[in-house]
Chains A and B, each alone.
Chain A
Amino acid sequence: MVVKMMAAFRTPKRLNRSFAVSFILFAFLAVFGAFMALPLLYAVNNAFKPLDELFIFPPRFFVNNPTLDNFYDLIALMGNSWVPLSRYIANTLLITLIGTAGHILLASAAAYPLAKYNFLGSKALFSIVVLSLMFSGHVTAIPNYMVMSWLGWINSHASIIVPSLAFPLGLFLMKQFIEQLPTALLEAAKIDGASEYRIYWSIVMPNVKPAWLTLMILQFPALWGTDGGSFIYSENLKTLHYALGQITLGGIARAGVGAAVALILMVVPISLFIISQSSVIQTMATSGMKD
């Protein structure tokens, strides 16, 4: 495998490359690549293991007799648990779709003026956003809880969706990307009589599709994997990730179903990344922080 990958090494095109060092670096990459990939591969294998293989000793990595039983059990469980599992899936989808789409809309609407115009407060606002990248959401957890309870949003999906709309990293990346758009394009539209909103919607938005996908790939897994945190306590509002926790608590009998749910939780964001990878890399090229 290493030899095959070595062939992919662009040694001839590159200057100053010794084969020996390339080989060592490459072997290093392969070892760590395995470390990264094995747990995920294990999760995939687990989802297809029959119950006796899940608890075999010594534990086996690969599945011997792959079966779809775990997924059938999952479907059966969906039908007859107290809160049907489809409810958890619907909740997760609702939170993820509204949160991601809304975030892309709001962040790009805010990023366009910040990227292209200089007006009173624009610099200050952007530096506050950059500063907010430097601390995590945990810092504001306590006041957020109080704000939520004053707004009456405790135990509603709004408490998860609304704060996620203003995720600062999204605005930062969107602004850096919009800066690359040629200003002449916007000026031409202005001369043709387009309003600012029109420019935002018909010129800026279609031209920053790579950045949409990037914001999606950052926001989607965070919301998809949310367990509702401390805001949601009604069973019928809870998410798939929470349900996974409950299923695995079910112990040995539910181990197979747990593995199937985990596979579903994992596969969706990874497939999204596979589709959007080149756009994401294109956006990230502009992610740098200027001094």
Chain B
Amino acid sequence: MQAETTSQAVPNLIHPKKKSRMANVWTELKKNKHYYFLMSPYMLIFFTFTVIPVVFSLILSFFYFNMLEFPRFVGWQNYSRLFLNDDIFMIAVKNTFLFAIITGPVSYIACFFFAWIINELSPKVRSVMTLIFYAPAISGNVFFIWLIVFSGDRYGYLNGLLIKFGFILEPIQWLTNEQYILIIVMIVQLWLSLGTSFLAFIAGLQTIDRTLIEAGVVDGIKNRWQELWFITLPSMRPQLLFGAVMQITGSLAVADITVALAGFPSVNYAAHTIVTHLMDYGTIRFEMGYASAIATVLFGIMIGTNKLTQKLLRKVGE
């Protein structure tokens, strides 16, 4: 009986090596079929509405397509028109970058800085302060409050105050004056931007190993700033990377706020961004190929900025 088992075991050992690559993949798939099955509903939707659209958008950007006629291949024409013949797009790019360069880093640093100060509070006060700073981000798009604050008549809160204290005599048209629009949009965006990354930082700060800080004191760390640079920031690198992704993507995608505050299109395109330009061609003019080219450029900018920032952030505290 023992002889029998050994003679059977030997061919079994050799057998898998003879299998082709494809068959190996197949057994692997079959072995894990439960996992694929569990993931399938999510992945089906995720691929249909996120992954395939990116690829599709890239392909479509080389076509002329207006939703009625059959798409016509035009090569690089959409891109050359976008970069060489579209003055409005250049305004949109300028506004988007101006916006992202200011609100991106400011909101990122604000998220961390406020989380850092809040972390020094006792647990009860900490949760109240967390709520106060996080509330605007989830307050259900209540931009309308800012519309009242910056309203162009004297009932507007800001105008009312300035007139009352004699700084101005006549109300200022905050939301239709090119000079002010972008700044106002930035203020409102900053107000709304202490969101997911802020929570991630609050949580990250609470999980820092206390013994590390005590050891740091022994090693000669003298004040909170040194502690911040040598202990806190390096321990939080994963959260910092995550927060950066959230803030960058958010600040490059700004559109809802500009539309709500400055209208669409805004006066002389003063608050026109890449996303509103995309909306213009995609949902009003139905030039889907051209809109796809804009979307592809936006995709490139977003991924590029994120990757670059990740590279920079890996150097923190090194």
Contacts and interface: CB of A to CB of B under 8 A. Distances in A.
Interface in B177-215: 191, 194, 196, 199-200, 202-204, 206-207, 213-214
A269 B120 contact: no
Contacts of B155: 55, 57, 59
Contacts of B48: 147
A113 B38 contact: yes
Main SS at interface, chain A: helix
Contacts of A171: 42, 46
A289 B255 CA distance: 27
Interface stretch (B49-57, B86-94, B263-271): B49-57
Contacts of B246: 133
Contacts of B142: 39-40, 43, 262, 265-266
B43 A125 contact: yes
A75 to B, nearest CB: 20
User: On chain A, which size bracket covers the interface?
Assistant: 35 or more
B144 interface: yes
A188 interface: no
B200 A284 contact: yes
Nearest to A169: B196
A282 B200 CA distance: 9
Contact of B191 (A35, A46, A129, A142): A35
Nearest to B126: A8
Contacts of B226: 16
A288 B118 contact: no
A68 B213 CA distance: 53
Interface residues of B, number: 113
A284 B200 CA distance: 5
B11 interface: no
A143 interface: yes
A238 interface: no
B202 to A, nearest CB: 6
Given A9-B120, A113-B35, A241 B54 contact: no
Interface in B124-172: 124-125, 127, 129-142, 144-146, 148-149, 154-157, 160-161, 163-164
A187 interface: no
Given A142-B291, A285-B207, A287-B239, A135 B298 contact: yes
B16 interface: no
A200 B25 CA distance: 25
Interface in B246-284: 246, 248-250, 252-253, 255, 275, 278-279, 282-283
Nearest to B255: A138
Q: Which 8 A-B pairs have the closest CB atoms?
A: A288-B238, A136-B253, A284-B203, A143-B53, A113-B35, A110-B42, A140-B53, A166-B45
29 contacts: A15-B217, A16-B223, A16-B227, A25-B117, A36-B133, A39-B145, A40-B136, A40-B142, A42-B157, A55-B155, A57-B160, A59-B156, A109-B39, A114-B39, A122-B35, A128-B51, A133-B245, A136-B250, A138-B279, A142-B60, A142-B278, A142-B291, A144-B53, A171-B42, A217-B138, A221-B140, A265-B139, A273-B134, A281-B203
Given A106-B45, A142-B278, A289-B245, 7 more contacts: A8-B125, A16-B227, A59-B160, A138-B279, A196-B35, A221-B140, A270-B139
Interface of B: 25, 28-29, 31-32, 34-36, 38-39, 41-43, 45-46, 48-54, 56-57, 60, 67, 110, 114, 117-118, 120-122, 124-125, 127, 129-142, 144-146, 148-149, 154-157, 160-161, 163-164, 191, 194, 196, 199-200, 202-204, 206-207, 213-214, 217, 221-224, 226-227, 236-239, 241-242, 245-246, 248-250, 252-253, 255, 275, 278-279, 282-283, 288, 291-292, 295-296, 298-299, 302-303, 306-307, 314
